[in-house]
Amino acid sequence: MRQSKLFTKTQKEAPKDEVSKNAQLLIRAGYIHKEMAGVYALLPLGVRVMNNIANVVRNEMNGVGGVEVSLTALQDKSVWEKTDRWRDEAIDIWFKSKLKNGTEVGLGFTHEEPFTEMIAEQVNSYRDLPILAYQIQTKFRNELRAKSGIMRGREFLMKDLYSFSRTQKEHEEIYAKIAEAYQRIFDTVGVGDKTYYTYASGGSFSKFSHEFQTLTESGEDTIYVHEEEKIAVNEEIINEPSVRNQFNLEDFIPQKAVEVGNIFSLGTKFSEPLNLTYTDESGNSQPVIMGSYGIGIGRLMGIVAELLSDDVGLIWPITIAPFKVHLVQLGDDDSVKSEAESLYQALVASGVTVLYDDRSLSAGEKFAESDLLGIPFRVVVSKKTLADAVCELKDRKTGSVSRIEKDALIKEMKKYA
């Protein structure tokens, strides 16, 4: 994409009313636009990163046998009354509205209930199970305060998968497989080394649930981390006897963290009230054993922005960067323009995504903006590089700068096509 066609501008200062680090950076770099507190639109660069993260998650969910669906935001009150999650006293983050005839509707803050109802229409026999179905879809949560940027929004993109199993054993195998896929997701998007498989409250149907918590000073949670074993325990259960029995807590150190994923064993909590049963091999009706598995796509973008940035801007991992290469043309000399244009065409033809800075600005302005945008590789074409028949290649993460011939550069970048 030509930067002259990218209508967003970068800003030297973040808006004064924005307190979160991720939103400050992402607004300054032109990735997001604040509509109101906790509600952010995605600008062109933001759309690209969000889609890339969604695709990393999608590939892993497909890999464990997940099938993609897309449920609706509008929610039928009667379904949620069956599980007693409609009342404001039970769930305090609903956005609710009304149809013209006065019927109340809600905006989905999660989707266990409609997923269970939808699957109940499709399942009769043990032969129909197990099912893993997921969506990547917008959730709405009426948060009292919204000060964490895109890490805790009132409207945000989330992947939620639900598993439907015949037996507890089958459920546990699926649960373990998804836990592994989650770890691969966090590795791929660049926060795996700081993300801990964390024991958390299990609710009424299992001893523990599990969170994936990423260490960060801006986190709202405190977890107790065992660095060697790469596990952690959420503070909320640190004093429970089951925890004290299972872990030697002397080796666990408290740290601030943010929850980037969670996986729950739901047992029959939803299948029983919503009548999701199957007929087993012996002809008996059995309730389906469920699990739910969430990852906030927007939150993941926020945590990557916070953790992988430096004083001068964002540093996207190559797996989710909006473009792999930021091609910067310096000066308006015809020979420079034509060389940059030809390199742009060659890279695009090789399948490499390129943001091509074809604008007339000073080197200082262009470099500062390039650092802020955080595209992994910066390639400079100038009169100087042209004279030496090379380009200049800078790695945004390490800061290392090298000179490289055009053909070698194309070959090198093609690895990331």
How would you label 82-93 residue by residue, b for 16+ Cβ within 10 Å and e otherwise? bbebbeeeebee
**One residue of 55, 110, 142, 201 binding a second copy per CB under 8 A:** 142
CA dihedral 56, 111, 215, 66 (to 10 degrees): -30
Could you say which of 97, 342, 362, 402 contacts a second copy (CB under 8 A)?
A: 97
Between vectors from CA 246 to CA 240 and to CA 247, what angle results, nearest 5°? 90
Residue pair 218/306 in contact (Cβ under 8 Å)? The answer is yes
Residue closer to a second copy, measured from CB, 92 or 405: 92
- Taking a C-beta distance cutoff of 8 angstroms, is the pair 315, 378 a contact? no
81 in contact with a second copy (CB under 8 A): no
Position 257: which residue type? A
Q: How many residues sit in the footprint of a second copy (CB under 8 A)?
A: 52
Cα separation, 186 vs 263, whole angstroms: 14
Minimum Å gap between C-beta 74 and a second copy is 5
Tell me the Ramachandran region of residue 399: left when phi exceeds 0, alpha when psi lies from -120 to 50, beta otherwise.
left
Q: Which is nearer to a second copy, 131 or 343 (CB)?
A: 131
Query: Rule CB under 8 A: is residue 295 a binding residue for a second copy?
Result: no
Instruction: Please give the DSSP secondary-structure letter assigned to residue 59.
Output: H
Least separation in angstroms between residue 307's CB and a second copy is 23
Q: How far is the CB of 144 from a second copy (least distance, A)?
A: 5
Stretch that binds a second copy, among 142-150, 199-207, 303-311, 330-338 (CB under 8 A): 142-150
- Report the alpha-carbon angle 15-21-24, nearest 5: 25
- Rounded least distance, CB 72 to a second copy, Å: 5
Q: Which of 3, 29, 46, 320 binds a second copy (CB under 8 A)?
A: 46
Q: Does 33 bind a second copy (CB under 8 A)?
A: yes
- Nearer Cβ to a second copy (41/363): 41
Applying CB under 8 A, among 54, 133, 151, 308 the residue interacting with a second copy is: 133
363 in contact with a second copy (CB under 8 A): no
3-class secondary structure, 258 = strand
Residue 120's H or E segment, with its range, is helix 112-120
* 3-class secondary structure, 209: strand
Tokens describing residue 147? 């000060």
Q: What's the full length of the chain, in residues?
A: 417
> Rounded to whole angstroms, how far apart are CA atoms 392 and 399?
12
Backbone angles phi, psi at 407, to 5 degrees: -65, -40
Interacting residue with a second copy among 13, 89, 102, 144 (CB under 8 A)? 144
Least distance (Å) between residue 24 CB and a second copy = 15
Residue list 150-169, contact with a second copy (CB under 8 A):
154-155
Contact window for a second copy (CB under 8 A) among 4-12, 179-187, 281-289, 369-377: 4-12
Residue choice 17, 89, 121, 228 for contact with a second copy (CB under 8 A): 121
Closer to a second copy by Cβ: residue 138 or 183: 138
How far apart are the C-alpha atoms of 25 and 12, rounded to whole Å?
10
Binding site for a second copy (CB under 8 A): 1, 5-9, 33, 35-36, 39-44, 46-47, 50, 65, 67-76, 95-97, 99-100, 105, 107, 114, 118-119, 121-123, 128, 131, 133, 138, 140, 142-144, 154-155
